[in-house]
Structure 1
Amino acid sequence: MKILTDIHTHTNASAHAYSTLYENMCAARDKGLELVACTNHGPEMPDAPHLWHFLYFKALPRVVEGVKLICGVEANILNKSGELDIPKKILEDMDIVIASIHNCTYAEEVGGDHTETWMNIIDNPLVDVLGHTGSPDFLYDMDTVIPYAKKRNVCIEINNHSFLSRPQNVARCREIALACKKYKAPVVVNSDAHFMGEIGIVPKAVAMLEEMDFPEELIMNLNAERFIKYLSEKKNKTFDFGE
């Protein structure tokens, strides 16, 4: 199994990431990737870029160093109502929207059940991916959330970074992947890179999926063609890469 895109990456526009966009794209080129998404943190993250960062993606080319580029945001989920920290008007212009819970930006208490949060996020038609949902701090009913994500054509992220920096999440990530296989729900497999050396590096996630014989047809970002088709149909949007 080889994942030829990475659709959750960060640049040094977020201060706790350490590479420029160009450095990330060069790393993607060197690793043979077909497509990268730049998805910096939404503004409620303490070191996030200003909202203006998300307003001027038109300045960027669609292809950098031979690698396709799409631009969006990893929006912060603020509460159980599913409120995000990016205005709707800006979300509408994003190529891709990942919605994630981070402890420092989420108003609800750690522990308990957070099924309601994810159900409300899935109901937001502008959200494409549920980001790193494996935290044991924010448990949810997988038999409720994952089939609903499939119904609404929202991808569940399998996040390689969780295996490295959040080892307490690994068992839960496996349960989520098995539930996605059971319900035939779409997933994406990403690095969540915060440094150029991490771009496209997803061996822990891939090894887990291979061990459980996870169907490749459910991996929406297996290659650029499949992921762009998914986004184009979901968003009713055309992507011009000059081909």
Structure 2
Amino acid sequence: MEVHRSLPQRALPMVGAWCFLDRFGPQTARMRVEPHPHIGLHTVPWPLVGEVRPLDGGPDAGGATATVVVGDFAGARSPATMHTPIVGAEIHVPAGSRVRLPLDPVREYALVGVAGVPEVHTAPDAATALPDQGLLYLGIHRDGVEVSAQRETTLFLIGGEPFESDIVMWWNFVGRSHDEIVAARDAWESEADDTGTPSARFGHVIGHACERVPAPPLPAVRLTPRRRTV
């Protein structure tokens, strides 16, 4: 299975509290991922292909239609639980239109291309084409951004209040320090056995016995926080 990772990037490790952004599929083969550990993060899976039936209509975002996956956008709020102010929304822009997406100036945002090649008007005299799977960082202090589309277009908006704390990311672990990552890896590996006994720290995945994804070796250097340069 091929996975395209938009975040983290060397110059942009996070957007708000979003620290990983992966896209995969569609595919015909069945995907099977064995139990593996996470610390310091919640996963937010969202089907871009297929159908999701919301209980209420999506908000009208200046002519576009949005499905709010997490957080709030354009007056609509997702029922999903979150522990930091973030937003994730799938946005559909009609063909031949130019729409304005409302933004919160205290948050930073990025747009990810899903289908179509829209132009994002980051300034009155500046427009950037956003290709499929491309990520465009919009920064902070914006109250909106305009998007024009020659054909029907789908985007994904992520954003949130800038995450000020240093974090260390390695494999599936997000921590505050090298030592926290080492402790999590040691806990996962020390609980590996062939009996199917539930992990004391990481729990048990129903339907799996002793299958698990082993942790890769740690690098021979001390892990350091990722800091943005944009």
TM-score bin (small chain): 0.3 to 0.5
Instruction: Give TM-score, length-normalised by structure 1.
Output: 0.33
Name the structure where strand makes up a greater proportion of residues.
2
Normalising by structure 2, report the TM-score. 0.34
Which structure carries more helix by proportion?
1
